Chain A
Amino acid sequence: MSKVFYRDLTTGQSTSYVELLKDLTSATHYNLYCRSKDYYVVFKSIVLSLLLNQEIILLDDDLSQEEVESQVGKIQNSEVLISEVDRVFLSRILTLDELFENITKSQKNWRITLFTSGTTGIPKMISHDFTSITRSVKQTNKHTSSVWGFAYNSTHMAGIQVFFQALLNKNTIVKLFKLGREEILKEINDNKITHISATPTFYRLLLPVDQVCPSVERLTSGGERFDRKVFESLSRMFPNASIVNVYASTEAGTVFASDGDTFSVKPNFKNLVKFENDELYLHKTIMGSSNTIQLQQNEWYATGDLIQIISKDPIRFIFISRKNEMINVGGYKVNPGEVEDVLKMIDGIKQVRVYGKKNSLLGNIICADILRTNSEITELDIRAVLQNKIQDFKIPRVIKFVESIETTRTGKIKRN
């Protein structure tokens, strides 16, 4: 029996590598844009784009049409017939070895473009070539028997990195994202998952420790800070796993890793990282390319991450906070300004203040103070409007109607 490539409990799908090969070699159409709820479709499209040496642009499936078009402009029908020459080429890939050989061949035109809520909050496009997107992939004999629990959105940077790590080692990918707790634990144990990369929120939702998952060898988390208590509980739930924090961003991919809170710079990145005024800067050579990335002296990217240096040689540091006002909701970054702009477009709303409130489950939850001109407008009305305008995690979950909104001396809305 051929090794399983992708398994999805919600759809009952289990697709082997041989079936993936069959789907790829019989493909007739190619689409520059990829937007699908079905992770298999996303993964297959990425591999197809690699084989065809064509660019692929990943769009979140939960983005509204408006949000999509604000990012890429009007999408024309972008599906095209694959040329005769390419179809012949595809049909001649007969074995998995040939498939992988073609995937990793030099990809001159290949680019993958994805979106980040990033440091400005306005979604920005980031493109990576094959080298930069697979920079952190580890490929050794040891990794061939890994089974990955997939706990990210398939169109986000973190998800794509897990995908390539699994694909290039011919590992099985088991979807865990959006499953309930019991289902997740069952999938981990039934499929003997060895590796999981997820946000701290994902891990928090697996607690309390009422069962153990001995198959897991490594848990990776990033996006927000892990507290001690969760860390200790996870060590009991996953007794054979090492627990690792990574620093990663859509712009740069994975740059550092650490045990616990303290990060160190890997030797090969030593000259590509610098610190100024407690802020972390990354050199342009480790960044994807984007028109919207602003570089200092044409070379350095200011990450907006504030750090504190623990030791100088070798350099070790901890992350303190974000320089700007982004609110971290379960690993997703929300720019309050963006949400305020959408709210202010609703009739009957005069002024708003969007802020994060600490929450033990998600880190933060989005709240809004609203000054109405029409007192009949309700929280329910506002939520209904937002449902079609912005992604779920950006929608204020608690709305308070107020008589006035404090501003700073310069007229900006006061933030806590």
Chain B
Amino acid sequence: MELIDIINIVLENKGRAILLTVKPNDDLRNDLGLDSLDLAELTVRIESEFDIDIFENGLVKTVGEIQDKLGK
């Protein structure tokens, strides 16, 4: 599963339209509209897919920062 698929699961779960693309500059809160509960859900889902806790060493703000943590 790709990062965008995981983001889309979170968006779909809260009844929002899915995204066709994401850009590294996309802000998780401001552009994707995720609140802190959504971010926590995203963390758990990414962790179960990639075994990496993206928030372990502080806050991530953008899609690109997640991609960095996942080494992509």
Contact = CB atoms under 8 A, between A and B. Distances in A.
Contacts of B39: 361
Contacts of A384: 15
Given A180-B29, A181-B29, A207-B58, A398 B45 contact: yes
Interface string B47-61: 000000101101101
Among A181, A205, A362, A365, max chain B CB count under 10 A is at A362
Contacts of B45: 398
A208 B58 contact: yes
Given A361-B36, A361-B40, A233 B58 contact: yes
Given A398-B41, A398-B44, A398-B45, A360 B53 contact: yes
B21 interface: no
A271 to B, nearest CB: 40
Nearest to A359: B40
Interface string A227-247: 000000100000000000000
Contact of B41 (A208, A365, A387): A365
B12 interface: yes
A383 B10 CA distance: 11
A204 B59 contact: yes
Contacts of A260: none
Contact of B43 (A360, A367, A379): A360
B37 interface: yes
A38 interface: no
Contact of A207 (B44, B53, B59): B59
A138 interface: no
B56 to A, nearest CB: 5
Contacts of A182: 30
Question: What DSSP secondary structure best describes chain A's contact surface?
Answer: mixed
A397 B40 contact: yes
Interface string A200-212: 0100110110000
Interface in A351-408: 357, 359-362, 365, 367, 379-380, 383-384, 387, 392-393, 397-398
Given A360-B53, A365-B41, A330 B36 contact: yes
Given A205-B59, A208-B58, A398-B45, A362 B12 contact: no
> Chain A interface residue count: which class?
20 to 34
Among B14, B30, B37, max chain A CB count under 10 A is at B37
B58 A362 contact: no
B37 A393 contact: yes
A64 B15 CA distance: 18
A392 B53 CA distance: 23
A329 B37 CA distance: 9
Contacts of B12: 380
Nearest to A393: B37
A115 to B, nearest CB: 20
Interface string A315-349: 00000000000000110000000000000000000
Contact of A362 (B13, B15, B29, B40): B40
Contacts of B37: 329-330, 362, 365, 392-393, 397
A208 B15 CA distance: 30
A192 to B, nearest CB: 24
Given A205-B36, A205-B59, A387 B44 contact: no
Contact of A359 (B14, B15, B29, B43): B43
Contact of A360 (B15, B56, B61): B56
A383 B41 CA distance: 13
B44 A397 contact: yes
Contact of B44 (A329, A357, A380, A392): A357
A359 B44 contact: yes
B55 A361 contact: yes
A289 B10 CA distance: 41
Given A181-B29, A392-B37, A387 B15 contact: yes
B43 to A, nearest CB: 6
Interface of B: 12-15, 29-30, 36-37, 39-41, 43-45, 53, 55-56, 58-59, 61
Closest 7 CB pairs of A and B: A397-B41, A360-B55, A362-B40, A361-B40, A365-B40, A208-B58, A361-B55
21 contacts: A181-B59, A182-B30, A204-B59, A205-B36, A208-B58, A330-B40, A357-B44, A359-B44, A360-B53, A362-B36, A362-B40, A365-B43, A380-B12, A380-B13, A384-B15, A392-B37, A397-B13, A397-B37, A397-B44, A398-B41, A398-B45
